[in-house]
């Protein structure tokens, strides 16, 4: 790996920015190339074939920028397409699911863990399988939350609609007596205040993004990649040149970026990838 090579990150939309914020905080010298596939959001209601095809084209696109590693900053892709992508591409590809499971197992005390996720992630059964691989005693309660992604993409995180959806989705998990909740979709950490309000202070909220970035740091070190050499936020000639692409509206992506990351001194370019299946 070369220190100047960027890290590729992708999601169906702005959810992957929850991973970007940990990357900026913990690996500030790395350059990133981000792809948000908002023309095809939500992935949560797509078929596995479509999710695999989208991931395939996005990673091919990122490879053109010479990325040294890719983060599938999308639980739906991590659940459905990761084995395919890892097999096909030579670059290391990290998902968010396994790191999320490891982070949850570190904090649960009663071993009753809730996972909120998209319908496709829940249907894949990937979370309960991953938990069981690591701890046969843990009980996993999954809940699909299809309204959450449009609420976040629309910037309505504090709305009555968000509160009502959170109350409805979280009721069975409260009932099940979970002590830990995993955000099994990268969009959901943006709803943390509302989720916290509904669940109260005793349930631990786990954002897999933090552990993912820690594991990425270990991987980069192990593979001999050294970090880039410029401090984050620097505006000078050595500023890391992060690139943001979206298949949908660049303006909406930029607006969300500003809202979610506070500062967003980057341009967003709209690109459509060739050979797309689905629309």
Please state the closest distance from residue 118 (CB atom) to ligand DGL, in A. 4
58 binds ligand DGL (CB under 6 A): no
- Span interacting with ligand DGL, options 38-46, 124-132, 156-164, 266-274, rule CB under 6 A: 38-46
Known catalytic residue: 145?
Answer: no
Q: Closest Cα partner for 105 from 75, 73, 138, 143? A: 138
* Cβ neighbours for 116, distance < 8 A, ≥ 6 positions apart: 142, 143, 144, 145, 148, 169, 170, 173, 181, 182, 183, 184, 185, 188
Please state the closest distance from residue 153 (CB atom) to ligand DGL, in A. 9
74 binds ligand DGL (CB under 6 A): yes
Site track for ligand DGL across 132-151, x = CB under 6 A? -----------------x--
43 binds ligand DGL (CB under 6 A): yes
- The residue (of 62 and 240) whose beta carbon lies closer to ligand DGL is 62
- What backbone torsions phi and psi does residue 38 show, to the nearest 5 degrees? -70, -15
- The residue (of 49 and 234) whose beta carbon lies closer to ligand DGL is 49
Site track for ligand DGL across 90-119, x = CB under 6 A? ----------------------------x-
User: Which residue intervals of 89-207 are DSSP H helices?
Assistant: 97-107, 119-124, 126-134, 148-153, 160-175, 192-199
> How many CB atoms are closer than 10 A to CB 236?
7
**Residue from 42, 189, 225, 228 in contact with ligand DGL (CB under 6 A):** 42
Q: What is the C-alpha separation between 248 and 251, in angstroms, rounded? A: 9
Please state the closest distance from residue 85 (CB atom) to ligand DGL, in A. 15
Catalytic residue among 17, 41, 74, 173: 74
User: Which H or E run contains 21?
Assistant: helix 17-26
Buried residues in 85-102 as b, exposed as e (16+ CB within 10 A): bbeebebbbbbbbbbbbb
**Which stretches of the chain bind ligand DGL, using CB under 6 A?**
11-12, 15, 41-44, 74-76, 118, 121, 149, 185-187
Q: Which residues are part of the catalytic machinery?
A: 74, 185
């Amino acid at each position: 790996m070369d220190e100047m090579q960027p890290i590729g990150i992708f999601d169906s939309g702005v959810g992957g920015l929850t991973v970007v914020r940990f990357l900026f905080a913990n690996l500030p010298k790395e350059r990133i190339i981000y792809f948000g596939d908002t023309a095809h959001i939500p992935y949560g209601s797509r078929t596995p074939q479509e999710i695999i095809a989208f991931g395939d084209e996005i990673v091919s696109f990122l490879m053109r920028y010479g990325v040294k590693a890719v983060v599938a900053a999308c639980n739906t892709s991590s659940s459905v397409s990761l084995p395919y992508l890892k097999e096909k591409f030579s670059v290391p590809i990290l998902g968010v699911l396994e790191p999320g499971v490891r982070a949850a197992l570190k904090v649960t005390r009663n071993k009753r863990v809730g996972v909120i996720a998209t319908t496709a992630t829940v249907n894949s059964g990937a979370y309960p399988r991953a938990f069981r691989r690591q701890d046969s005693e843990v009980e996993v309660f999954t809940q699909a939350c299809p309204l959450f992604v449009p609420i976040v993409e629309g910037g309505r995180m504090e709305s009555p609609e968000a509160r009502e959806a959170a109350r409805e989705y979280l009721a069975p998990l409260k009932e099940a007596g979970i002590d830990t909740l995993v955000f099994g979709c990268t969009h959901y950490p943006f709803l943390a205040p509302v989720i916290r309000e509904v669940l109260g202070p005793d349930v631990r909220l786990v954002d897999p993004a933090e552990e993912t970035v820690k594991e990425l740091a270990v991987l980069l070190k192990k593979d001999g990649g050294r970090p880039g050499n410029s401090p984050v936020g620097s505006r000078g000639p050595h500023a890391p040149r992060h690139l943001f692409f979206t298949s949908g509206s660049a303006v909406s992506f930029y607006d969300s970026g500003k809202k979610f990351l506070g500062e967003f001194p980057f341009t967003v370019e709209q690109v459509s990838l060739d050979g797309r299946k689905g629309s």
